[in-house]
Structure 1
Amino acid sequence: MRNMIAYCGLDCEKCDAYLATLHNDNALRAKTAKLWAELNHAPILPEHINYEGCRVGGVKTVYCESLCEIRQCALNKGVTTCGDCPDTETCQALSEIVSNTPDALKNLKG
């Protein structure tokens, strides 16, 4: 499995936070911060949008580092991704990701 597939199966290389970090794109940071602040009802600022991937070393957004319940669960269980977890099929948090991004499940299985 590619290292840039997150614990939940999302492709980190397609994440706007990753792309903004990779290209040092402050306009994309601002756009992403605004959207994420609205979606999460939280004060997310452009300077918070720095991210090098969920499962690799390097900087992570505050959400990914400490608030993402899926990442914390996977780390606690010691699984490479949710695809290695026995609760994959019944996990409510994962089902929300998969319902919005069906490719996430394909990434976990492939």
Structure 2
Amino acid sequence: MERMIACCGLDCAACEAYIAQQNDDNELRRKTADLWGRQLDVEVDPAGISCDGCLNSGQHLDDCGMCGIRKCCLEKGLSNCAECDQYICDTLHNGLTFLSEVLEMGPMDELEAKKNLESIRAGKCPCVFSVRRAKRLKSQIRPAWRAKNKSGHFFSYMHLLSYAQFSSACR
């Protein structure tokens, strides 16, 4: 499966809202709205089940757009929490605990998110592009195209540019 690691370590590409948005799949939006509505005991509008991924500048789920973890990373100029000197802070811990316990994330749980961040911190995660590589790929990829690295991690052209803009680890 293609991967796109969010600020918190979750894989955006595994999220139903991301998949529905990328495939313009209204049936998946409806099913996801029904499932999330039952889990949270609220009414969820299928039209709101759309997200372009944490680091992309496009559409976000309400929760993702207002996410404290995402806000913190963007304010600090980081692409994810693994780059932060204060890793693991209360913002990350509380945010992942909320997602895990309250929202019942499913296959992508708190431990998986932390595992992704630990891999990035250890330099073992090939999903993180350097600024140099992003700039090199910039000349090879049209905006509507998508790039996949050797490990199958997925990045849109805009994601590469976002990473180059926000990454402090590779500067």
TM-score (norm 2): 0.53
CA contact (8 A) 2:50 2:59 kept: yes
Matched residue, 1:77: 76
SS at match of 1:32: helix
Structure showing greater radius of gyration is 2
Bigger share in helix: 1
CA contact (8 A) 1:98 1:105 kept: no
Rounded Cα–Cα distance in structure 2 between residues aligned with 1:98 and 1:7: 16
Unaligned runs of 5+ in 1: none
Cα RMSD (Å): 2.6
The 1:9/1:41 distance shift into structure 2, 3 A limit, reads: same
The 1:87/1:44 distance shift into structure 2, 3 A limit, reads: farther
Displacement of 1:105 after TM fit? 2.0
Displacement of 1:54 after TM fit? 0.5
Matched residue, 1:93: 94
SS at match of 2:10: coil
How many residues are aligned here?
Answer: 108
Displacement of 1:89 after TM fit? 2.4
Amino acid at match of 1:85: C
Displacement of 1:87 after TM fit? 2.4
Matched residue, 2:10: 10
Is 1:104 the counterpart of 2:113? The answer is yes
Rounded Cα–Cα distance in structure 2 between residues aligned with 1:34 and 1:50: 14
Q: Which has the higher contact order (CA 8 A, sep 6+)?
A: 1
Matched residue, 1:56: 56
Deviates more, 1:96-105 or 1:6-15: 96-105
Rounded Cα–Cα distance in structure 1 between residues aligned with 2:41 and 2:86: 29
Unaligned runs of 5+ in 2: 102-108, 126-171
The 1:40/1:32 distance shift into structure 2, 3 A limit, reads: same
Q: Among the aligned pairs, what percent are the same residue?
A: 37
Deviates more, 1:45-54 or 1:89-98: 89-98
Deviation beyond 4 Å, 4+ runs, structure 1:
38-43
